[in-house]
């Protein structure tokens, strides 16, 4: 079964993204106080969308920014999509719960099987969910709890779900992501390496690892696309020079460096800004 499940890993046809509200600068949640240049953040976001739509040929669904939701650009937290099922989450920060409404409508429009998380004791941010192609790891963080992980396991019954404590950083994917089939990209900090050990112990699969010096640089987006092959959207040399050098060793990947200097000030990473899905063409 596992080989069949892995065969489609990284195949995507569509991406859902959302605009950046001006309120991001002053009102978005953040772990450190830093000035955000909204115009520059929008330029970065435009380049990100351009890479998805033009360079990679995905169908991009763009939701409008909402000034009353300063964090709404970080769409990943509002839904977890796997196969033709979309789990609408219940974000850990109360101020972000309304973000799921537009996402739910967009995913219904794309004819996905939409499951909602209605249990009020549950919290789940998509940034805490790492899907490896054969199983899920869910970070238990300030934003995601055990009940949220249980509901995710219930929504995606074909896959094992293991939980990983996130002791530092906002989300599990603040220091790791997938870099290819069976390849986990991981930051080099002690908490990141500890989390990786836990993931390795919980899995019956042996994952390869690619360690990068900077935890935030470990957040990248892997795709496997027709005519493009392995694709990796990752940090720029300007942001993380040493980590960017590590990605350059991936000779069989099409590498697309994308700047994230502004959104990172409000804890945003590359995976945060899109929900990717693979829609089978209806015959």
DSSP 3-state assignment of 151? helix
* Residue of 45, 171, 230, 253 marked active site: 171
CA distance 80 to 104: 11
* Active site annotation includes 234: no
| Number of Cβ atoms within 10 Å of the Cβ of 35 | 8
Between the CA of residue 106 and those of 85, 112, 202, what are the distances in Å?
13, 9, 34
* Active site annotation includes 205: no
Q: Which two tokens stand for residue 181?
A: 């089939």
Contact yes or no for 244/234 (Cβ under 8 A): yes
* Residue of 72, 220, 272, 273 marked active site: 272
End-to-end CA distance of the chain: 25
In the chain, beta strands by DSSP E: 14-18, 59-63, 79-82, 85-88, 113-116, 129-131, 135-140, 160-165, 176-180, 183-187, 208-212, 221-225, 229-234, 253-257, 275-277
DSSP-assigned beta bridge partners for residue 162? 137
In 9-122, beta strands by DSSP E: 14-18, 59-63, 79-82, 85-88, 113-116
Name the residues annotated as catalytic: 171, 272
């Amino acid at each position: 079964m596992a080989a069949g499940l892995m065969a489609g890993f990284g195949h995507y046809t569509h991406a859902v993204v959302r605009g950046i509200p001006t309120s991001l600068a002053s009102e978005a949640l953040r772990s450190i106080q830093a000035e955000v240049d909204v115009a520059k953040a929008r330029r970065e976001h435009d380049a990100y969308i351009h890479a998805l739509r033009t360079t990679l040929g995905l169908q991009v669904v763009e939701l409008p920014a909402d000034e009353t939701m300063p964090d709404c650009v970080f769409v990943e937290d509002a839904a977890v999509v796997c196969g033709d099922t979309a789990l609408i989450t219940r974000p850990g920060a109360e101020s972000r719960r309304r973000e799921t409404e537009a996402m739910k409508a967009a995913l219904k429009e794309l004819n996905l099987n939409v499951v909602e998380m209605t249990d009020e004791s549950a919290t789940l941010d998509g940034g805490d969910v790492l899907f490896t192609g054969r199983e899920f790891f869910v970070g238990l963080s300030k934003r995601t709890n055990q009940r949220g992980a249980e509901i995710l396991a219930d929504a995606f019954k074909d896959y094992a779900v293991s939980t990983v404590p996130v002791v530092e950083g906002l989300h599990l994917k603040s220091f790791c992501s997938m870099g290819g089939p069976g390849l986990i990209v991981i930051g080099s900090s002690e908490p990141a390496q500890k989390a990786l050990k836990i993931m390795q112990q919980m899995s019956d699969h042996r994952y390869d690892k690619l360690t990068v010096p900077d935890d935030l640089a470990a957040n990248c987006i892997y795709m496997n696309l027709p005519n493009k092959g392995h694709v990796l959207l990752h940090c720029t040399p300007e942001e993380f020079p040493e980590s960017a050098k590590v990605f350059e060793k991936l000779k069989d990947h099409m590498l697309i460096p994308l700047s994230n200097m502004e959104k990172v000030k409000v804890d945003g990473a590359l995976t945060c800004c899109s929900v990717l899905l693979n829609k089978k063409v209806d015959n």
